[in-house]
């Protein structure tokens, strides 16, 4: 046995440095802890020596390689290729968004994708149109985009308020726009027509998609007939804050006037007063700023939420000095 303990370690350490650990475990099993510890140390030293020798050999090879001009060129080529491949890996612009629909616009060689930050709901929906070349898959950032939302019901059809992209140049490959769906899909079928003029290839066409629209838990849009004439219909939608916080928040509402079943232009004629309250706590909040019209039917102000919970925004709308509606409110919770 002593002969085995003398010859076998030397053979293992010389040819298989890593096997020293296994042999040490064997010695431990044989209850020879002294020999086990000694052999484990020798195995570690032998392994470190082998690893050091391999590193020195690699450095020596690289030194000889770099002395040759072709070696330097080859190394630089590898670095440049690696760098270019990393730079060309452009992040996906749709990350963080929900795709509502996608398809081709016939005759345009363009693939159309419709995104949002949430599923489509009754109310003001911010949409983001992404156009891609149908051959290369690369984003098309120069195009004219027009929206045509339509609701088909059993005996009639109608459109809804919409905002087309304000520019022909995409923002981070997206064309921002919006549609205010005025009723859910349970009442009929919503389709969204996206008419595009691809300014990069000069082709025009339309893609049409079916959009599933659901009522949110708390209503984000309401309509009313003006008390001033009892005939003009307005639609008021809640836009911001989409993620309310405790404290002062930017408040944004949108207001549209119904001119026909197909036309819902933005309205800038009304004045809006907002009174926040917590209906379950029986208190309001200070330092609120009533929204005023800014552009294209968007009214902006400030609302102060002093704590988390259910909040109710009581609205009073006037045309001049005449109150046209004071019965509606918008609930939200966070």
How far is the CA of 56 from the CAs of 44, 49, 51, 111, 127, in angstroms? Answer: 18, 11, 9, 56, 60
Clarify whether residues 72 and 161 are in a common domain.
no
Whose structure tokens read 């020293």? 20
Return the H-helix or E-strand segment holding 113.
Answer: strand 110-116
Which tens digit of pLDDT belongs to each residue from 276-326?
999 999 999 999 999 999 999 999 999 999 999 999 999 999 999 999 999
Q: Assess contact for 146 and 195: CB atoms under 8 A.
A: yes
Our CA dihedral for 172, 174, 176, 180, rounded to 10 degrees, sits at -140
Please give the Cα distance from 198 to 33 (Å, whole number): 80
User: Which of 35-39, 128-132, 248-252 is predicted least confidently?
Assistant: 35-39
Whose structure tokens read 């086990």? 36
- Whether 225 is in a domain gets the answer yes
- Whether 93 is in a domain gets the answer no
- Whether 53 is in a domain gets the answer yes
| pLDDT of the residue at 60 | 63
Residue 89's pLDDT band, with cuts at 50, 70 and 90, is low
**Last residue in a domain, options 87, 118, 136:** 87
| pLDDT of the residue at 2 | 42
Range of the domain at 277: 221-333
What pairing do the DSSP bridges indicate for beta strands 289-295 and 329-333? unpaired
- Whether 147 is in a domain gets the answer yes
Please give the Cα distance from 279 to 333 (Å, whole number): 11
In the chain, the number of structural domains is 3
- Whether 216 is in a domain gets the answer no
Clarify whether residues 252 and 280 are in a common domain.
yes
Which residue(s) pair with 301 in the sheet? Answer: 251
Which tens digit of pLDDT belongs to each residue from 145-196?
999 999 999 999 999 999 999 999 999 999 999 999 999 999 999 999 999 9
Clarify whether residues 235 and 165 are in a common domain.
no
Given a cut of 70, whether residue 33 has pLDDT beyond it is no
Q: Record the tokens describing residue 256, joined without a space.
A: 């549209």
| pLDDT of the residue at 79 | 43
Clarify whether residues 102 and 207 are in a common domain.
yes
Clarify whether residues 318 and 226 are in a common domain.
yes
Which tens digit of pLDDT belongs to each residue from 38-69?
544 555 666 676 667 777 676 666 666 556 55
Which tens digit of pLDDT belongs to each residue from 93-151?
889 999 999 999 999 999 999 999 999 999 999 999 999 999 999 999 999 999 999 99
**Last residue in a domain, options 162, 187, 211:** 211
Clarify whether residues 185 and 138 are in a common domain.
yes
Please give the Cα distance from 206 to 190 (Å, whole number): 16
Clarify whether residues 119 and 198 are in a common domain.
yes
Whose structure tokens read 């809804």? 160
**Last residue in a domain, options 211, 238, 260:** 211
Looking up residue 227, the CATH number of its domain turns out to be 2.60.40.10
Which tens digit of pLDDT belongs to each residue from 79-88?
445 444 444 5
Please give the Cα distance from 59 to 51 (Å, whole number): 13
pTM here is 0.74
Clarify whether residues 237 and 322 are in a common domain.
yes
Clarify whether residues 207 and 299 are in a common domain.
no
Looking up residue 124, the CATH number of its domain turns out to be 2.60.40.1940
With pLDDT > 90 as the criterion, what percentage of the chain qualifies? Answer: 72
Please give the Cα distance from 131 to 138 (Å, whole number): 8
Residue 5's pLDDT band, with cuts at 50, 70 and 90, is very low
């Amino acid at each position: 046995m002593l002969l085995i303990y003398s010859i076998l370690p030397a053979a293992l350490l010389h040819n298989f440095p890593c096997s020293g650990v296994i042999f040490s475990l064997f010695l431990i099993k044989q209850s020879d802890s002294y020999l086990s510890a000694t052999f484990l140390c020798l195995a570690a030293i032998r392994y470190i020596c082998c690893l050091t020798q391999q590193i020195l050999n690699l450095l020596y090879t690289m030194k000889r390689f770099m002395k040759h001009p072709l070696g330097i060129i080859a190394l630089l080529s590898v670095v440049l290729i690696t760098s270019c491949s990393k730079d060309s890996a452009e992040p996906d612009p749709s990350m963080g968004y929900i795709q509502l629909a996608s398809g081709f616009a016939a005759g345009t060689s363009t693939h159309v994708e419709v995104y949002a930050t949430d599923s489509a709901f009754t109310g003001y929906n911010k949409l983001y149109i992404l156009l891609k070349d149908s051959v290369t898959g690369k984003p098309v950032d120069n195009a004219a985009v027009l929206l045509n939302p339509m609701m088909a019901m059993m005996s009639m059809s109608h459109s809804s308020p919409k905002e087309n992209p304000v520019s022909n140049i995409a923002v981070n490959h997206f064309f921002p726009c919006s549609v205010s769906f005025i009723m859910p899909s349970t009442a009929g079928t919503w389709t969204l027509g996206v008419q595009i003029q691809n300014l990069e290839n000069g082709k025009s066409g339309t893609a049409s998609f079916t959009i599933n629209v659901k009522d949110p838990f708390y209503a984000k849009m309401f309509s009313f007939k003006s008390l001033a004439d009892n005939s003009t219909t307005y639609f008021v939608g809640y836009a911001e804050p989409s993620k309310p916080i405790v404290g002062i928040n930017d408040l944004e509402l949108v207001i549209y006037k119904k001119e026909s079943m197909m036309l819902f232009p933005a309205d800038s004629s009304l004045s809006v007063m907002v009174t926040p309250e917590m209906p379950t706590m029986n208190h309001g909040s200070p330092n609120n700023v009533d929204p005023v019209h800014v552009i294209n039917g968007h009214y902006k102000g400030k609302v102060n939420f002093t704590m988390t919970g259910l909040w109710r925004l009581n609205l009073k709308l006037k045309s001049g000095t005449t109150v046209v509606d004071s019965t509606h409110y918008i609930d939200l919770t966070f």
